[in-house]
Amino acid sequence: MRGLHRPEVWHTCPTCNDPDYPHPGQCARCLLNRRLGELLGPPSDALHPGLEALRNDIATAEHPITARRWLNKPSVSPVMADLAAGRRALTHQALDELPDSPPLAHLRQVLVGVGALPERDEYMVRLERFLTSLLATQHNPEQRKVLHRYTIWHLVRRLRRRTNGLPLTPQQFISARQRTHAAVAFLNWLTAHDLTLKTCRQADLDLWLTDDFATYRQTAGHFIRWARTIKLSTVHVPAIRWNGPTQPLDDEHRWNVARRLLHDDTLKPEDRLAGLLPPPCPRTFGDQPVDHRGS
């Protein structure tokens, strides 16, 4: 057997002659480019400049195997092919018509990153979609009217004013969604007890606040205080004052705080440890509000 010639198993890539690729056949980078050609067609001046920029961004990805797997996802590959062939317009509105999924959201982010799509406030778009869908499910006209007034004319308008053109944070999105769920929960509880905002008395509200089966009891306080302010109700829930920061900390300030916590011996050890721990994940369900920065 020593004299027999063994066939060479590990070849360099026949397309790009890359000697570092330890597998037979084309290397991962060439396979990725081939897949891009299948979806977008060959490089051409006829291809939308934004899609050509997308091709270059994906083709030069640091991990070509991961990029190729992402390209093969059923929520990505047909979309890219449709965009290249002109069957789907390269707009946010056209992508909004597709079922939402993390790969599609990533494709949108990449398209924005390469300049193929304009930037937009994705969390505000998600919030508006959520509110439109929720309001459409409200069969009681009076309840739908109150919720529309609270969510669209109060929550959303207030968020727009407070962000002043900046995109919503995930916490602001979650907080607005929770407050909406809380308002619906409270109104449904009133209906179940043959009550309305006008006929609800403080004793009724106290019953709600002590009902173990009632959900979003603390979060609903925001809606109840709003209803009292515009004279839809007379009951009241005291606000819990938020003593945290009103704006996100910038990166440099975060590093300065971290350095102080690491090296300042005048601070209590337990305070230094607590300050260095990462924040808990925001709660999306339950009774407690997750964040008051958007309140």
Q: Where are the alpha helices (DSSP H) in the chain?
A: 28-40, 49-59, 64-71, 77-85, 92-96, 102-113, 122-136, 141-150, 157-163, 170-192, 202-209, 221-229, 251-263, 269-276
For residue 248, what pLDDT is reported? 59
For residue 289, what pLDDT is reported? 39
Q: What tokens were used for 205?
A: 């509200």
For residue 22, what pLDDT is reported? 52
Residue stretches of the chain with pLDDT short of 70: 1-25, 240-251, 278-295
Contact between 200 and 235 under an 8 Å Cβ cutoff? The reply is: yes
How far from each other are the two terminal CA atoms of the chain, in whole angstroms?
80
For residue 197, what pLDDT is reported? 95
For residue 47, what pLDDT is reported? 87
Contact between 176 and 156 under an 8 Å Cβ cutoff? The reply is: yes
Tens digits of residue pLDDT in 42-71: 877 788 899 999 999 998 888 988 999 999
Question: Which residue, 35, 75, 30, 36, is CA-closest to 52?
Answer: 36
